């Protein structure tokens, strides 16, 4: 998948309990609604665990002030 993606471990996270998903790195914040992640992503088994894979092009990205 060109451009990268974030994955959500569906065995550890029950998405029914969350309205949005947020990943924060040293310089960026990535946000997507749970509904959009489910709609735009796809499930696969990675490392023996069920994951939801969502391409970075679907996330709302903002730079963090350092």
Q: Provide long-range contacts, Cβ within 8 A and 24+ apart, for 14-21.
A: 15/52
From first to last of its 66 residues, the chain has per-residue pLDDT tens of 457 999 999 999 999 999 999 999 999 999 999 999 999 999 999 999 999 999 999 999 999 986
Question: What is the reported pLDDT for 3?
Answer: 77
User: Which residue bears the tokens 């990675």?
Assistant: 46
Alpha helix (H) ranges present in 1-66? 34-40
Question: What is the reported pLDDT for 2?
Answer: 55
CB 8 within 8 A of CB 51: yes
pTM here is 0.88
Token digits of residue 47: 């490392």
* Maximum C-alpha span of the chain: 37
Question: What is the reported pLDDT for 65?
Answer: 83
Question: Distance (Å, rounded) from C-alpha 58 to C-alpha 30?
Answer: 10
């Amino acid at each position: 998948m060109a451009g990268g993606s974030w994955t959500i471990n569906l065995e550890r996270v029950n998405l029914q309990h969350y309205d949005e998903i947020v990943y924060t790195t040293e310089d960026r914040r990535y946000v997507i609604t749970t509904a959009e992640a489910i709609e735009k992503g796809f499930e696969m088994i990675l490392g023996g665990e069920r994951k939801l894979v969502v391409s970075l092009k679907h996330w709302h990205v903002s730079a963090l002030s350092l």
